[in-house]
Chains A and B, each alone.
Chain A
Amino acid sequence: MKDLKDKNMPAPVVISDAELKRQAAKEKRARFVRTMFSRKIVVIGAVGLLFFILVAVFAPQIARFDPSAMDSKAILETPNAVHWLGTDNYGRDTFARLVYGARISLIIGVLAVAIAAVIGISLGMIAGYFGGIIDMIIMRVMEAMMAIPALMVNLALVAVIGNSITDLAVILAVTTVPSYVRMTRAMTLRVRNSDYVKAAKMAGSSSLSILVSHVLPNVISHNIVQVVSNVGGTILQEAALSFLGVGISIPTPSWGTMVSEGRNYLLFNPTIALVPGVCVALLVISLNLLGDGIRDAMDPRLRGEN
């Protein structure tokens, strides 16, 4: 051993384990991003989503009118130079309402899915890890929630809870939770009997620390795909609720509400009702394309096959 430390010898390149791991992770991330964006449709999805996010963020700069300012002199105007997409029955600028509507859709979509994912992943891990009676109770409740059509659950909950932005996010989250629970539980069951979990148990780690440091990293990746496509689904749900007249409270410009209000004036100005629907579709398509891309990039078996 002594001669190894001879000063004449070139210093061996020492790469610590941590460094190796970091490099491997970096490589993996780079490969993931490369695969993901190698497909055109994923790029389209990402650009589309970015576009809507920018519109939502810079809504005050983009819109030239206040979305809820009524103008009795400009009622039901068809698209023109001042009001690019015309005005509705209160003389409100459709373009401004559309731009601000992006905020509502994105905020509710992201908030609802965030709530659902946190609750769903936690419950799924608990059900899968502990099993027994806890598992039984959680899964039966989830099955009960899935047995009722989502729109009906949402409708009933709006009657009970209310229809502010946070109310709606919570309500829409309720119907999304079960899918996270099921998926997380299935993956937790797979991890539960693995050697490293057994080793951690023997080393005396608490259940909480095992769940957080060993189970969570394994279940989180598959949930990411679900998160992205769920945001799209939730935005559609919110639009449907608003359309039925039980969505977000009235003066706030929501795309669903706009379609609902505009349908009475289809003959005068069809853009009020039809354009917001196109926006919902484009945003949801962008999210789905991105979600598909992430899924394919994560699953090597799917890469380039479908």
Chain B
Amino acid sequence: MAKYLLKRIGTMIIVIIIVSLATFFLTNLVPGDIVYTVAGSDEIDDAMYDRIYHELNLDKSTIERYLIWVRNALKGDFGMSYAYSKPVWELIKARIPTTLYISIMSIVLSVPIGVVFGMITAVFRKKWPDTVFTMIANVLNCLPQFWIAILLMYIFCLKLKWLPSMGFGFPAKVGWPKFIQTSIMPIICGSLNAIAGFTRQTRTSMLEVIRQDYIRTARAKGISERKVYFKHMMKNGLIPIITVLGGRLAHILGGSMIIENIFSIPGMGVLARTSVEGKDIPTLQAIVLITTLVSCAAYILTDIAYVVVDPRISLSESGD
């Protein structure tokens, strides 16, 4: 286990190095002279130009700049944002809680609903509940998230006027009622797609379990149907859910970009979009690197969770 984990972490470090290289060199290809972007204007005198040029270490080679960037990043210093003239880490630190809140609440909402849907489809396989819930899951999977968001907005903000369309903030800032009102639609939107994923995964793995010998044995022993479903089937059938959950956790920081942008939620997703638009390279680099770190950590956690939940899996053998 320890050996496998070390190997996994080693692989992840290589992955992160590749990502950091790719981000750094790709963002250096952004068209246009970066000095003007930093200065915020095309009309600056030569002295100013030279000063910024040196500040950005543009006189050094790209490799040197990469090494300086990595050294600083390891210390938590991602440089100054071009757009906000603030340290990038401060910008990101201020936005992480918001994004985490939306993502985690969406997952919390989608797991029970998806699992219940999946159980229903598996238990009533080939009967009408199966057809109905499978169809719901399929449709949810195909509807664009931004479209659902706009539909909800149209119905609940513009037509019924029940919920505000923007103005999200934590209770300390805007008070509890507003906090809850502004949370409802983003969280529902964020969970719909995940519900589809959990439903499909639960259904597939439950159907696999239904065919197992120990289920037949349990039934033969005269255990009540309900106990068979909830004790024997759920226990084993839910293990593959970890995969879907891991995928969701991996995108906990970068996955809510569309929702944040529609509902004007000041999180990482809005920062990512504005940094692309404003060619705010240090911010973009930091966002990509941090979201990668988080998703790598999530994948390792998923692996550990598998072993903890299912003792049949031995990690040392599964490594290819």
Q: In the assembled complex, which residues on chain B have CB atoms less than 8 Å from the CB atom of A246?
A: 273, 276-277
The answer to whether A266 touches B158, judged by C-beta atoms less than 8 angstroms apart, is yes
Asked if A140 and B14 sit within 8 Å, CB to CB, the answer is yes
Does the CB pair A149–B255 fall under 8 Å?
yes
Contact pick for B284, options A156, A277, A278, CB 8 Å: A156
Query: B residues within 8 A CB of A263?
Result: 150, 153, 262
In the complex, the answer to whether B144 meets A288 with C-beta atoms within 8 Å is no
| A4 at the binding interface (Cβ < 8 Å) | no
The CB with the most chain B CB atoms within 10 A, among A141, A144, A239, is that of A144
Known contacts A147-B295, A151-B258, A244-B257: A236-B138 contact under CB 8 Å = no
A160 contacts B by Cβ under 8 Å: yes
* Closest-CB distance, B107 to chain A (whole angstroms): 15
Which of B17-25, B75-83, B179-187, B304-312 sits within the interface? B17-25
Contact of B26 among A157, A240, A256 (CB under 8 A): A157
Closest to B131 in A: A41
14 contacting pairs across A/B (C-beta < 8 A)? A141-B18, A144-B18, A147-B296, A148-B295, A149-B291, A151-B254, A156-B284, A159-B279, A160-B26, A160-B30, A236-B142, A263-B150, A270-B154, A277-B143
The answer to whether B147 and A143 touch across the interface, beta carbons within 8 angstroms, is no
Query: Which residues does chain B contribute within 8 Å of A274, judged by CB atoms?
Result: 147, 150-151, 154
Question: Which of B144, B150, B151, B292 is packed against the most chain A CB atoms within 10 Å?
Answer: B144
Closest to B22 in A: A144
A232 touching B142 in the complex, CB below 8 Å, given contacts A243-B258, A277-B150: yes
> B27 contacts A160, CB within 8 Å?
yes
The size of the chain A interface, using a CB distance under 8 A, is 43
Q: Which of B247-274 contact A (CB under 8 A)?
A: 250-251, 254-255, 257-258, 261-262, 272-273
Known: A141-B18, A151-B254, A158-B276. A243 touches B141 (CB 8 A): no
Stretch at the interface among A21-29, A76-84, A209-217, A279-287: A279-287
Counted as pairs of residues, one from A and one from B, with CB atoms less than 8 Å apart, the total is 134
Q: Which 5 residue pairs across A and B have the least CB separation, nearest first?
A: A277-B147, A149-B254, A144-B18, A284-B142, A285-B142
**Any chain B CB within 8 A of the CB of A259?**
yes
B29 adjacent to chain A (CB < 8 Å): yes
A205 to chain B, nearest CB (A): 26
Contact, CB under 8 Å: B258 / A281: no
Task: Give chain B nearest CB distance to A283 CB in angstroms.
Answer: 9
Give Cα A148 to B16, complex, Å. Answer: 10
Taking A147-B292, A285-B139 as contacts, is the C-beta distance between A155 and B144 under 8 angstroms? Answer: no
Q: Give CA–CA (A148, B299) in the complex, Å.
A: 12
Kindly state whether residue B316 has any CB partner on chain A within 8 Å: no
Contact status B272-A155, CB under 8 Å: yes
Asked whether, in the complex, the Cβ of B273 is within 8 Å of the Cβ of A244, the reply is yes
Contact with B along A284-300 (1 / 0, CB 8 A): 11001100000000000
Nearest B residue to A159, CB-CB? B276
Cβ B276 vs Cβ A259 within 8 A: no
CB distance from A239 to the nearest CB of B (A): 5
Provide the bound-state CA to CA distance between A67 and B32, in Å. Answer: 32
A61 within 8 A of B: no
Q: Flag whether A47 is at the interface (Cβ < 8 A).
A: no
Asked if B36 CB lies within 8 Å of chain A CBs, one says no
Instruction: Write the chain A residue with the least CB distance to B251.
Output: A149
Of chain B, the residue at the smallest CB distance from A232 is B142
A42 at the binding interface (Cβ < 8 Å): no
Complex contacts, A289 vs chain B, CB 8 Å: 138
CB distance from A139 to the nearest CB of B (A): 9
Q: Mark A213-250, 1 if CB is under 8 A from B, else 0.
A: 00000000000000000001000100110011110000
Taking CB atoms, residues of chain A closer than 8 Å to B207 are 305-306
Q: Which residues of B contact A148 (CB under 8 A)?
A: 19, 254, 288, 291-292, 295
A277 to B149, CA, bound (A): 11
Within 8 A of B (CB), among A76-124: none
Interface flags for B225-261 (1: CB within 8 Å of A; 0: not) read 0000000000000000000000000110011011001
Q: Is residue A169 contacting chain B, with contact meaning CB distance below 8 A?
A: no
* CB neighbours of A240 from chain B (8 A): 144-146, 258
| Complex: A281 Cα to B256 Cα, angstroms | 20
Minimum CB–CB distance from A57 to chain B (whole Å) comes to 23
CB distance from A79 to the nearest CB of B (A): 16
Which chain B residues lie closer than 8 Å to A158 at the CB level?
276
The proximity string for B residues 123-155 relative to A, scoring 1 for CB distances below 8 Å and 0 otherwise, is: 000000000000000110111111100110110
B15: chain A residues within 8 A (beta carbon): 140, 143-144, 147
The residues of A that contact B250 with a CB separation of less than 8 Å are: 147
Say yes or no: A281 contacts B158, CB within 8 Å: no
A residues near B16, Cβ cutoff 8 Å: 144, 147
- Which chain A positions have C-beta within 8 A of B154? 266, 270, 273-274
Verify if A199 is at the interface (C-beta below 8 Å from B): no
Q: Which of B146, B153, B251, B272 contacts A266 (CB 8 A)?
A: B153
Is B287 interfacial (CB 8 A cutoff)? yes
The 8 A CB mask of B153-174 against A (1 = contact, 0 = none) is 1100010000000000000000
Interface positions of B from 1 to 54, Cβ below 8 Å from A: 11, 14-16, 18-19, 22-23, 26-27, 29-31
Q: List residues of chain B with CB within 8 A of the CB of A156.
A: 23, 26-27, 276, 284, 288
Q: Please pick, from A140, A267, A280, the residue contacting B147 in the complex, using a CB distance under 8 A.
A: A280
Q: Is the CB of B144 within 8 A of A244?
A: no
Contacting pair A280 B144 (CB below 8 A):
yes
Given A239-B144, A244-B261, A270-B154, 6 more A-B residue pairs with CB atoms under 8 Å apart are A140-B15, A147-B299, A156-B284, A244-B258, A274-B147, A281-B142
